[in-house]
Every structure is written in C-alpha cells, then in structure tokens.
Amino acid sequence: MTTRSLKSTRLVLALMASGLIGGASVTALQHLSAAHAANAPVAVASTVAATGSASVPMALPDFAQITAQQGPAVVNISVTGIVKTSDETPTARRGQQDDPFGNDPFFEFFRRFQQGPQGQQRGQGAPRETPVRGQGSGFIVSADGIILTNAHVVRDAKEVTVKLTDRREFIAKVLGADPKTDVAVLKIDAKNLPVVTLGKTSELRVGEWVLAIGSPFGFENTVTAGVVSAKGRSLPDDSAVPFIQTDVAVNPGNSGGPLFNTRGEVVGINSQIYSRTGGYQGVSFAIPIDLAAKIKDQIVAHGKVEHARLGVAVQEVNQVLADSFKLDKPEGALVSGVEKSGPAEKAGLQAGDVIRKVDGRAIISSGDLPAAIGLSAPGDKVRLEIWRQGSAQEIEARLGNANDKSTEVADNSAASQQGRLGLSLRPLQPDELRAVGVTSGLLIENTSGAAAKAGVEAGDVLLAVNGQAVKSIDQVRSAVAKSDKSVALLIQRGDEKIFVPVRIG
C-alpha cells in the first residue's frame, strides 16, 4: 500500500468514526419504506458493506416536487380582532409579558400575539377592548375558495385575510368553526384556485416521512419535514381527536397548515406542539384529515357540527385492574359510569364493562374511546366489543347527540370485608341511600392494609367489586375469595365514581 492510499484509508476511517459517513447514515436510509422509494425519483447511491456485498439502493422522498405541486394551495392567514380584558397592575402585566404562555407545557402552539398600547392602569378590573393580531396557515380544498384551518387560528376574529402564494389577498368569511376538534372552514371569493389532494390517514404508517408547509413566525411558505412518530394519540385537552404525532418542526404560525405524505396528499392539519419553551421541541401533533374532512362537510352543509355521544364515563385499565377483571392485557376503556337513559344504558352497557373495540377498531387506552366515537355521527350504530364478567361479548349501540343536554351518570348498585381488603363496611340506611343518590351500597367506615394503600378512604361508598354489583358484606367476601391477585372496587366519593384497583395477592 502506498503512503497516499494509506492516508486516504485513515481519512475514511476517521470520517466513519466521527459519524460523517458510513454505518449510521446507511442504516437510516435502509429503514425507509419501499413505498417511498416507488414514489420518489431522488435515488440514494448504494454502498458496499464490509462483507463486500452491495446494499439495496433506496430513495428519499422528493420534497421539492411535493412543494412545487402542492405549495400553491397553501395559504397564509392573518387575523385581527378585539378582545375585552380587564386592566391589571403594571407588575402583573410585566409578568405576563415575560412569560406569555405561563407554566402550562401543553398549549396551542399558535397563540395570539397581542399588540396594542400598554396603557396605564385605569382602575382595578375596569374592562377595556384590546386589539389582537395573529397569523396562521391553511390550505385550499376546493377551487371555488373553500379553505381548511384550525379553529383557534380564527377565534375572536373580526377580520380574516387570506394571502396566496401568488401574493393575491382576499378577505375571508368564516363559514364555521368547531372548537372540539379545532377545525375551521373559510371561504374566499375566487375561482380556479389550486387545490391540495386529500389522502387517507388510515393508510399512514408510523415511521413514514411527512412534510409540513406553513408560515412559522410569519415566514410564509416554509417547508419542514420529519416522520410519523405515532397515530391515534390522545391528548389531555382534546381527547375527541386521535392525533397524528410527528417530529416535524412546527412553530407559532404553522397552525392550520397541511401535513403531506410522500405522495403529496394531505393527511393532517398541524394543530399543536408539546413544548416547555413556547417553541418546537421535537413533538408536534396533527388532526387526521379523515376527521377534518367530515367536520368540513358538516360546516359547509349546515353551518354547524354535531358530535356523537355514547354516554359513559371511562377510565384507564392498568395491570392491577386487568388482573381483577381477568383480562389478558391491560387494554381497553373501563366503564365507571353510565348516563341515565343514554345511548350506552339503552344498549345494555354496565359499569365494570371494558370496551375493547369500536367497529373493529382496537381501544388500547381509555382516550381512544372518545376519539373512535368522534369519527361517527349522531344516530349511527356502532358495534362494541366488550369484556364482561370474564368473557367477551358484543353489543350494538345507537349514538346520541353530544349537543343534547347530558344527563347525570346513572346510579350503580353495589359493595368487602375487613380481612384481605382491609375495609370495615356496613349497609347504608334508606335515608343515607337517598342522600348519596344510590339504590344500594356499603359505607366504608374504616380502611387499612391493601385498601388504604390503594387510596380508599373512610366515608367512600362501595358500589361494586370486579364489576359485580353487591348489596351485602357476604357478597363482597365471596367476590374477594374468587380473586387471586387483585380486585377492582367501584367507589363513589361525593359525585364522582371510579374503579380503584387493590392488590390482595
């Protein structure tokens, strides 16, 4: 080997060691799906492994082509409006300015940038009108000017201006907005507009490349890319939406913009981020386009949105509850309450049932249930696969309308003993039953051991054990005797009902 070739070899090894070329890059490219390779003309050169065999040539998505074809249908949205506020002390106002998002790490990543005179204090609490201005994104879904965006982008809007990529501007009319799903529909007076192609979120796979176009911080037509991190993600503040989680960089102003797959189809509307700083930190969420399209159709047709309602209160199934109900896995939505005369009660659902599927769609966590019901319309029939008393069953429910006045959660009859559980119980007297609002139950007078450790307190009312309503202490003893590792106690505390898992084995 010559000195020159030796130096070249050392240079290559140094570059590989520093991660600039070699294994890491090749591995990442090899994980790209074959579907992406078929749709993208930009090829990646094959490499030769240490064994001497060449790896399979792969291809990256052609983001430039997607942007050129679909970008003209993405719009910038400017909003002006008036919000009534109360005057505050200068100290309080400075504090808000220093930390405009407070300490809440989960917020809409597009917030109004309030602009206007600071003003001096005009009296504690005196109402005043504050002008607000904001920017967001949207995309055209029909050539006659129908535009999709986020509801929070146009909230409190007095005037909405839409700017196209060809720099034309239009005053838009808000046809309707649905805060529950954060979807809004705008209309501008124009024809022969470029439109996006809508895809199917159901066909999107975790790990796929996705691309976002929007106006972060007012920088119009900004393009960012990443991969799908998860699907069907339930968030604490918007459980009716099965969000798409990505690592695409989105920031204030991206709200309402489209999320594209590698075929150039819109699969979601960028809506939220998780952030402790107010800016992008690697986790962003998009509303599935399948859901957004249904909301859009209702708004265009009726000017309003109606959501379906099953009429149950649910909670998570952890391992202890799964053991108590003899489930093979800690999955599903555990029904802790049922609305009186609601759709669920009419269908025969009971407290203690575990909903595992809705129309064949698996319910892994309790947050998946409202998201699944949200894909249906009032009046639709849904097929529910449930787990009851140790066996699988199937029932059909006709969904109600969430806009109708909700009823109280139904009373659940029911009832354990001092031994393994650590409970001191007595039957409720008739006047106590009326006061608590149940037809039967056992008052927990004292707790110790396993029950106290699980969080059961004196004064709670025990309604059921492992989903079975009990009216006597003997029934509780019998239910506990049949349990090996744990029991699930349905407890009422005040107006709330919840299953409490108690380990006894």
Closest C-alpha to 164, from 183, 147, 181: 147
Of 182, 323, 411, 460, catalytic: 182
Structure tokens that stand for 153 in this block: 């982008």
Closest C-alpha to 333, from 377, 380, 385, 379: 385
Return d(Cα 414, Cα 441) in angstroms, integer.
Answer: 5
- DSSP annotation of 297 reads H
Please report, for residues 156, 211, 263, 298, 377, the alpha-carbon distance to residue 302 in angstroms, rounded to integers and kept in the order given.
21, 32, 32, 6, 14
Secondary structure (3-state) at 17: helix
Structure tokens that stand for 133 in this block: 């201005």
| Beta pairing partners, 184 | 149, 177
302 in catalytic set: no
Of 137, 215, 255, 284, catalytic: 255
Question: Are residues 209 and 262 in contact, defined by beta-carbon separation less than 8 angstroms?
Answer: yes
Please report, for residues 131, 138, 207, 440, 473, the alpha-carbon distance to residue 480 in angstroms, rounded to integers and kept in the order given.
63, 57, 45, 19, 11
Of 36, 78, 137, 152, catalytic: 152
Please report, for residues 15, 104, 132, 276, the alpha-carbon distance to residue 279 in angstroms, rounded to integers and kept in the order given.
33, 13, 20, 8
Return d(Cα 188, Cα 114) in angstroms, integer.
Answer: 26
255 in catalytic set: yes
Catalytic residues: 152, 182, 255
